[in-house]
Structure 1
């Protein structure tokens, strides 16, 4: 068994610099008048292409209505978690618990970055309304299903749509999994799922494309860089493995939980 840890307690200066400079470059491009005009042009075309069919295609409207409701986010989270902790897919069974805690640490860092960046956006006046609130001839799901908006939190508009926090979580999951994937099929499945689950907000008009491929992506790259390319993930993961070992040892004795790789397999420590 290869007991080499997934995360190394060292500074990887080259990748860290890339993961810091690339988000800065994305932000500068977005703030550049030409870049902003290009993003807006692409996003208007993208939104019209995705949103217009909602009026005439009932099946298309049903699919994205379900995908735009808050409870569906729970389904998405369970799917992503299941792939993360599935033993011998991307991670070996004995690596799953370490991978889980490493992703957890990276996700916490993303939350911090998101809070700071959002306040900065507010202070700089970079926030904007979603396309469903500013464009003409918009098909709003809430107009078709007004009861779902109140009962199931159907989301098809936002007064503060930048950056795309929903997309940032999907993108950081995809980036994290891609770091350790070794087969083309794995990469294909990972990114297909991430893009698919980003679609509901784009179709419904709750986000512009730039909220995701600029705002969401730059936050995800920053978080993955400052977690994986520094000692942060390594130190925090090893600490969490030690602190939670008694709990997992107890859970491993339970009939169903003990069969999960994240619980029953002996983790590296």
Structure 2
């Protein structure tokens, strides 16, 4: 941990600065102006019968989350296929550790004393993609901060960087952008739900997990309690 202490302090400082720059100013300061501009940019393009509206609607159905999961598993599977037996075994427990801390950080994130609905519930006289299509799609959340889906994808990207390197991280970031953008385009999330909420939690939380022996010790713990025959 000693050699990474400077990095941990820096990442915590960045994460807290991002959060308090949004949390402390009245009406969230410049962040609200940015949020509003991004929301209206996409919302004005949501018109009945338009191809953009169908695209946004389709990418916000629940089943689209399965596609994001498949993309994450595909990248993980690519690195898994290159491992020997011990490497594959370790990857199982990296995955378990990732899920373990994803749950913890998500729960901690919801302890932040912030509750706000998505922009589609905040602004009036706006276009709702769910009202324009015959199938059910998501364009609203009663508690959108922080962005749960964005947080999960950021945690995934963090673990990929820690254990598989910069190329894996770059692809993970592409996956993050592809699968979070539809939520913002539909107005189900504010931009800052992701860029402030998910990011600040990731920077602070993951720095203490991945830049200390915590994640490695957790992986070793799972490796000890599960017999070798249980994981091929």
Instruction: Give TM class, smaller chain.
Output: 0.7 to 0.9
Distance 1:246 1:211, change over 3 A: same
Deviation at 1:83, TM superposition (A): 0.2
Q: From 165, 173, 177, give the equivalent of 1:181.
A: 165
RMSD: 2.4
Report the 3-state secondary structure (helix = DSSP H, G, I; strand = E; otherwise coil) of the residue aligned with 1:120.
Answer: coil
Q: Does 1:127 align with 2:119?
A: no
Distance 1:134 1:16, change over 3 A: same
Match of residue 209 from structure 2 = 227
Match of residue 155 from structure 2 = 172
Deviation at 1:19, TM superposition (A): 3.2
Matches of 2:41 and 2:182 in 1, distance apart?
13
Q: From 148, 164, 172, give the equivalent of 1:190.
A: 172
Deviation at 1:18, TM superposition (A): 2.6
Equivalent pair of 1:23/1:222 in contact (CA under 8 Å): yes
Q: From 5, 8, 12, give the equivalent of 1:13.
A: 5
Report the 3-state secondary structure (helix = DSSP H, G, I; strand = E; otherwise coil) of the residue aligned with 1:93.
Answer: coil
Q: From 35, 40, 43, give the equivalent of 2:32.
A: 40
Matches of 2:230 and 2:129 in 1, distance apart?
45
The higher radius of gyration belongs to 1
Deviation at 1:209, TM superposition (A): 0.4
- Give the gaps of 5 or more residues in structure 1: 1-9, 250-269
Distance 1:24 1:35, change over 3 A: farther
Matches of 2:133 and 2:160 in 1, distance apart?
36
Matches of 2:49 and 2:194 in 1, distance apart?
26
TM-score by length of 1: 0.75
- Give the gaps of 5 or more residues in structure 2: none
Deviation at 1:119, TM superposition (A): 2.7
Distance 1:98 1:120, change over 3 A: same
Matches of 1:172 and 1:37 in 2, distance apart?
27
Alignment of 1:1-269 (within 5 A): 10=1, 12-33=4-25, 36-55=28-47, 58-87=50-79, 92-94=82-84, 95-121=87-113, 126-145=114-133, 148-149=135-136, 154-179=137-162, 180-183=164-167, 187-242=169-224, 243-249=226-232
TM-score by length of 2: 0.86
Matches of 1:63 and 1:233 in 2, distance apart?
39
Distance 1:65 1:21, change over 3 A: same
Can you list the C-alpha shifts for 1:145-204, whole angstroms capped at 9, x where unaligned? 35x33xxxx210112111111111112222332343344xx5543322211110111011
Deviation at 1:35, TM superposition (A): 8.5
Equivalent pair of 1:129/1:160 in contact (CA under 8 Å): yes
